[in-house]
């Protein structure tokens, strides 16, 4: 749940127009999301609740799905309906006329209760190929009932760009002839490997909305990857896409960061070869080639990597890398002019990243690195040792106990605690030892804990990266901050991330006092 | 080296026309490859050696690169040359006229020594966009010198399909006007996420060759993925693509196998969402939807999975019904008619899914559940207890040791092992205890290990789901099978997944014996 709120905030910062937040009827968690999302205060993006047309044989007002959409309380809602005659009769089991009524009723009802309705025409391309007249009647029904946007879905992902261009133009012409200027959208899937091209073809044919996901995450072969679509539209087709507070170019420069943030939250590995935003998208290898790149960047790069917030990878270029460090450290540390410190931090970060660390969602761990280099770090305790043991006897639940000894101002403090698992046990023991000395730790809460295998080829001997999200009065805007730890040993990776969280909290606690 | 020979044989079996085997000048191994490849006896495909145009200021006959190409002894060779004026002058440091001579000389020389020359026009699209007259002159020079094929390379991967279509048509018209009917090819890269669409656009504009790689393996964002191109051309554009001994359809049915073979040889993980050939390309989840797929496959699948040698995957999920269980259990257990057993399995799966288990990628754990219900399960050992402890002392790396006692046929077996982390230590101890009794476990390898927090709100006390992928002679088509374990304790979740893998392997080992 927390994840969806975080991603919504990120998408809003990036400057997208609409965020589809889930299907409130099918999933109680999605309903809760729309409730909690009201506190998000998005600056530009509109949250959208998603649902299907009313069921057969009842009025829209009686339908629980319609009610759930209405009660989500969003300005916009998306309703998906059947375009394909075969689906209406064989899957829904209704007549072609009743399907049209279901579309019209649903759009009309939601419009009547004050919602702006985006109509998703499921299987638009396959349905219209099978029965063109009927396919066009379904979207006309939605337009006539007041839909503010009609989105053509390539639900099975089987269309090629020529067909997409032809059918979008056909839909546009049909609606205009019927007297409607309803804007059109496209919702491609990647089953034929051409989802991005289909999105671009639709835009060229007059569509103004592209429905997809960051990184193309989605079932089967995925939805269209919006990061690629956004970059192509903005950089190659001269379209205005991102509408955050700043300029289009400034928003676009956050594309890579947004992509990696979503991978991190979704606990998925980065796709190195991903266009524009992948780690390898601007990687150059081979001596002569690299020389040519340095000599004449545009002769080997289709766009400047920095235009999408990515970086050229050859050797970490001191110039570009160092300036990023200063930017990431921010105003708090004012290292803009200290090239030596910037270089030291960059070297440390580069080394840690090579070891599997990632700092995109671990701003607190990054800040601790900066603090060490600028002399604004302090230690509140030292580890003497910890030990954590899990024992399981047949027929019993596993028992986990952690023991640790810390040194605080030269004094030994020992604690011992059980936990539901090793990380929980260590967290409990750490708090037990520290709380008497640093009572403000009571305000520090663990909000999320993620584990990722970094180099999966080495199987159980692989390194793991642990990411922890904390909440405390000293976190960012929402009180949240993240830390990271990496080790071949999951317990030790967790220990590192826990300790970073505690130190970050305590340093800020001290600095917040006059 | 062996790898390249294996892949060449596989590509020949699949029915591709040309296999580019490497750059004999730059790499002695590539030169050796062409020597050894002579014993391959390919049935249809032609091996091609790759190189650059002659260096500046010397004749083609004097050039060592030309000599290496000639000596590779292949019927066909590919020569890559500069299209972009900027590259000729700034990267090669030659005049525009000399670049044309280098192209012509190289093609003419290799033709004169009996080679058929494929000319690769590097940066064709960017170069022609920058200086159209010159770009066209470079390919005309190649045609005039006797090239049997001219391939237009989108070297930086920055072109969109419209430009590709336009420039291919332009090249074709230019060459025809100059009196040449040289066939054209396309060599796309995926930096804009539209490599497949670019290949298709070029074919629509008259190209007859697509240069790419199986699975799109290649630098930066990859070359075009030939598996997707082949499937689209053959199934959606009515082109004849694969020319193996059998029919086009029979060849196409080997596409998924060829893709996985290349991943295996290249030691890369499968990409689940890969179009046509990915593990998830035809995966369906959700009861009602799966019901519709069974009823009316083409309404949810853009092509029949078997047309490319892939299979439909019914994902067992919370929403799934009894009919899915029978489908997933498959022919091996023949429970189609036993509704009582189906119901029992479904209840068990539903309960485990509520606890955080997922069986999508854990077919072995699912099979063990089925086996328990149909009476085809057996236990090979019992746990008495395990204990795993991680100790870290300041200034030292963490030390991890696992001890366990198992009961095999009433006899106690004890083992103790260290590991890089707790899971590795337990795996080591388990194998140490079991190997003397079940030596076939040597054939069981851990391939991948994944951890995911299931209910992240409970922070470190949250449940984790561990997924392990194994490889053994008793796995599926590719030898792979997956298991899953869930617990609040990561060690115990790993233990469950490890034990399922061992049991699955041993049961199949026993059943495989007469």
Question: CA A477, CA A9: separation in Å to the nearest integer?
Answer: 11
Question: CA B37, CA B41: separation in Å to the nearest integer?
Answer: 8
Question: CA A35, CA A19: separation in Å to the nearest integer?
Answer: 15
What are the backbone angles phi and psi of residue B385, rounded to the nearest 5°? -165, 155
Q: CA B479 → CA B262, B392, B446, B470, B474, distances in Å?
A: 15, 38, 12, 8, 6
* Count of A-B CB contacts under 8 Å: 311
Whether residues A390 and B156 touch (CB distance < 8 A) is answered with: no
Among A48-62, B157-171, B186-200, B347-361, the minimum mean pLDDT is found in: B347-361
At B286, the pLDDT band (50, 70, 90 cuts) reads: low
A378 vs B: CB within 8 A: no
User: Mean of the pLDDT values across residues A183-196?
Assistant: 98
Question: CA A350, CA A475: separation in Å to the nearest integer?
Answer: 25
A 120-149 near B (Cβ less than 8 A) = 123, 126
Whether residues A390 and B491 touch (CB distance < 8 A) is answered with: yes
Rounded to a whole number of angstroms, the distance from the CA of A224 to the nearest CA of chain B is 10
Say which residues have a Cβ less than 8 Å from residue B511's Cβ, sequence separation at least 6.
none
Of B190, B226, B131, the residue nearest A302 (C-alpha): B190
> Chain A interface, mutation test: which of B224, B276, B390, most A Cβ atoms within 10 Å?
B390
What pLDDT sits at residue A288? 45
Rounded to a whole number of angstroms, the distance from the CA of B176 to the nearest CA of chain A is 26
Q: For A64-88, what is each residue's pLDDT tens digit?
A: 999 999 999 999 999 999 999 999 9
B 323-352 near A (Cβ less than 8 A) = none
- Asked whether the beta carbons of B492 and A389 are under 8 A apart, the reply is no
What pLDDT sits at residue B441? 95
What pLDDT sits at residue B383? 96
More confident residue, B288 or B347: B347
Residues of A in contact with B197 (CB under 8 A): 160-161, 194, 196-198
- Asked whether the beta carbons of B479 and B464 are under 8 A apart, the reply is no
Query: Quick check: helix, strand or coil at residue B243?
Result: coil
pLDDT higher than threshold 80 for residue B228: yes
Q: For B441-480, what is each residue's pLDDT tens digit?
A: 999 988 878 887 776 444 445 788 898 989 899 887 668 8
pLDDT higher than threshold 60 for residue A97: yes
For residue A492, give the nearest of B158, B398, B445 by CB distance.
B398
CA atoms lying within 13 Å on the CB side of residue A28: 0
Whether residues A453 and B450 touch (CB distance < 8 A) is answered with: yes
B173 vs A: CB within 8 A: no
Whether residues B398 and A487 touch (CB distance < 8 A) is answered with: yes
Rounded to a whole number of angstroms, the distance from the CA of A339 to the nearest CA of chain B is 30
What pLDDT sits at residue B186? 98
> Chain B interface, mutation test: which of A392, A469, A488, most B Cβ atoms within 10 Å?
A392
A 69-98 near B (Cβ less than 8 A) = 84, 86-87, 90-91
Question: CA A303, CA A321: separation in Å to the nearest integer?
Answer: 18
Whether residues B232 and A196 touch (CB distance < 8 A) is answered with: no
Whether residues B273 and A394 touch (CB distance < 8 A) is answered with: no
Strand order across the beta sheet in which A116-122 lies:
A18-20, A46-52, A76-82, A116-122, A149-154, A184-188, A209-210
Question: CA A283, CA B222: separation in Å to the nearest integer?
Answer: 11
ipTM tops 0.85? no
- How many helices (H) does chain A have, and how many strands (E)? 18, 13
Of B477, B469, B478, the residue nearest B498 (C-alpha): B469
What percentage of chain A reaches a pLDDT higher than 90? Answer: 67
Say which residues have a Cβ less than 8 Å from residue B71's Cβ, sequence separation at least 6.
B24, B31
A443 vs B: CB within 8 A: no
Say which residues have a Cβ less than 8 Å from residue B116's Cβ, sequence separation at least 6.
B75, B76, B77, B148
Rounded to a whole number of angstroms, the distance from the CA of A391 to the nearest CA of chain B is 4
What pLDDT sits at residue A293? 57
Task: Characterize B160-169 residue by residue with b for buried, 16 or more Cβ atoms within 10 angstroms of its Cβ, and e for exposed.
Answer: bbbbbbbbbb
| Sequence-distant contacts of A127-133: CB under 8 A, at least 24 apart | A127/A82, A127/A83, A127/A84, A127/A85, A127/A86, A127/A87, A128/A83, A128/A167, A128/A170, A128/A171, A129/A163, A129/A167, A130/A84, A130/A85, A130/A86, A131/A84, A131/A85, A132/A170
Q: For A446-463, what is each residue's pLDDT tens digit?
A: 887 888 777 644 444 578
Q: Which residue of B has its CA nearest to A391?
A: B387
Residues of A in contact with B160 (CB under 8 A): 197, 200, 232, 236-237
> Chain A interface, mutation test: which of B192, B408, B426, most A Cβ atoms within 10 Å?
B192
Structure tokens at A42: 């998005």
Say which residues have a Cβ less than 8 Å from residue A127's Cβ, sequence separation at least 6.
A82, A83, A84, A85, A86, A87, A121, A134, A135, A138
Whether residues A280 and B197 touch (CB distance < 8 A) is answered with: no
User: Mean of the pLDDT values across residues B250-265?
Assistant: 88
pTM of the shown model: 0.74
Query: Quick check: helix, strand or coil at residue A16?
Result: coil
At what angle are helices A255-265 and A226-236 packed, to 10 degrees? 180
Q: For A414-428, what is each residue's pLDDT tens digit?
A: 999 999 889 899 999
Strand partners, B388: A390, B402
Q: Supply the mean pLDDT for chain A.
A: 89
B 395-424 near A (Cβ less than 8 A) = 398, 400, 419-424
What pLDDT sits at residue A398? 93
The label of the residue with tokens 């920055």 reads: B158
Cα(first)–Cα(last) distance of chain B, in Å? Answer: 39
A 27-66 near B (Cβ less than 8 A) = none
Whether residues A190 and B387 touch (CB distance < 8 A) is answered with: no
Question: CA A207, CA A233: separation in Å to the nearest integer?
Answer: 12
> Chain B interface, mutation test: which of A1, A25, A162, A192, most B Cβ atoms within 10 Å?
A192
Whether residues A192 and B274 touch (CB distance < 8 A) is answered with: no
Of B385, B448, B382, B449, the residue nearest B416 (C-alpha): B385
What pLDDT sits at residue B339? 82
In three state form, how does the secondary structure of A335-356 look?
CCCCHHHHHHHHHHHHHHHHCC
- Asked whether the beta carbons of A157 and A188 are under 8 A apart, the reply is yes
For residue B299, give the nearest of A2, A86, A427 by CB distance.
A86
Q: What's the CA angle centered on A249, arms A304 and B163, to 5 degrees?
A: 55
For residue B488, give the nearest of A220, A295, A420 by CB distance.
A420
The label of the residue with tokens 């609740």 reads: A49
At B41, the pLDDT band (50, 70, 90 cuts) reads: confident
Whether residues A194 and B464 touch (CB distance < 8 A) is answered with: no
B289 vs A: CB within 8 A: no
At A316, the pLDDT band (50, 70, 90 cuts) reads: very low
B453 vs A: CB within 8 A: yes
Residues of A in contact with B222 (CB under 8 A): 273
Residues of A in contact with B157 (CB under 8 A): 275, 302
pLDDT higher than threshold 60 for residue A130: yes
- How many helices (H) does chain B have, and how many strands (E)? 18, 15
Whether residues B394 and A388 touch (CB distance < 8 A) is answered with: no
Of A489, A497, A427, A15, the residue nearest A234 (C-alpha): A15
Rounded to a whole number of angstroms, the distance from the CA of B301 to the nearest CA of chain A is 6
Query: Quick check: helix, strand or coil at residue B450?
Result: strand
Q: For A245-295, what is each residue's pLDDT tens digit?
A: 678 888 999 999 999 999 888 877 788 899 999 988 988 754 445 556 566
Cα(first)–Cα(last) distance of chain A, in Å? Answer: 37
């Amino acid at each position: 749940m927390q994840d969806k709120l975080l991603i919504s905030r990120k998408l809003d910062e990036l400057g997208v127009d609409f965020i589809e937040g889930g299907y409130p009827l099918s999933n109680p968690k999605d309903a809760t999301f729309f409730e909690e999302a009201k506190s998000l205060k998005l600056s530009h993006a509109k949250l959208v609740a998603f649902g299907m047309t009313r069921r057969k044989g009842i009025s829209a007002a009686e339908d629980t799905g319609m009610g759930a959409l209405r009660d989500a309380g969003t300005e916009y809602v998306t309703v998906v309906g059947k375009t394909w005659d075969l689906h209406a009769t064989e899957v829904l089991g209704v007549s072609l006329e009743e399907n049209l009524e279901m579309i019209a009723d649903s759009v009309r009802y939601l419009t009547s209760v004050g919602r702006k309705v985006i109509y998703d025409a499921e299987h638009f391309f396959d349905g219209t190929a099978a029965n063109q007249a009927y396919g066009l009647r379904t979207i006309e029904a939605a337009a006539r009932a007041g839909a503010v946007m009609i989105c053509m879905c390539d639900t099975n992902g089987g269309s090629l760009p020529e067909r997409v261009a032809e059918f979008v133009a056909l839909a546009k012409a049909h609606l205009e002839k019927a007297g409607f200027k309803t804007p059109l959208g496209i919702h491609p899937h990647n089953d034929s490997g051409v989802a991005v091209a289909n999105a671009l073809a639709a835009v060229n044919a007059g569509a103004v909305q592209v429905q997809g996901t960051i990184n193309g995450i989605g079932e089967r072969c995925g939805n269209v990857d919006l990061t690629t679509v956004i970059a192509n539209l903005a950089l190659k087709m001269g379209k205005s896409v991102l509408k955050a507070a700043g300029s289009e170019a400034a928003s676009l420069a956050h594309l890579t960061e947004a992509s990696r943030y979503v991978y991190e939250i979704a606990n998925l590995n980065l796709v190195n070869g991903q266009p524009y935003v992948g780690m390898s998208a601007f990687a150059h290898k081979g001596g002569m080639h690299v020389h040519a790149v340095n000599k004449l960047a545009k002769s080997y790069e289709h766009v400047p990597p920095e235009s999408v917030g990515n970086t050229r990878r050859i050797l970490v270029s001191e110039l570009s890398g160092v300036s990023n460090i200063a930017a990431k450290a921010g105003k708090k540390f004012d290292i803009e002019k200290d090239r030596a410190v910037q270089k030291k931090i960059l070297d440390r970060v580069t080394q840690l990243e090579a070891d599997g660390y990632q700092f995109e969602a671990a701003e607190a761990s990054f800040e601790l690195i900066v603090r060490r280099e600028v002399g604004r770090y302090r230690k509140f305790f030292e580890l003497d040792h910890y030990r954590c043991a899990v024992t399981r006897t047949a027929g019993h639940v596993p028992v986990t106990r952690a023991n640790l000894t810390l040194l605080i101002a030269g004094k030994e403090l020992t604690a011992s605690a059980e936990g539901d698992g090793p990380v929980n046990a260590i967290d409990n023991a750490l708090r037990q030892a520290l709380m008497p000395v640093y009572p403000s730790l009571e305000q520090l809460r663990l909000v999320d804990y993620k584990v990722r295998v970094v180099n999966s080829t080495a199987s159980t001997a692989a390194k793991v990266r642990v990411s922890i999200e904390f909440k405390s009065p000293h976190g960012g805007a929402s009180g949240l901050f993240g830390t990271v730890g990496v080790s071949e040993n999951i317990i030790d990776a967790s220990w590192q991330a826990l300790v970073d969280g505690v130190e970050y909290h305590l340093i800020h606690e001290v600095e917040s006092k006059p």
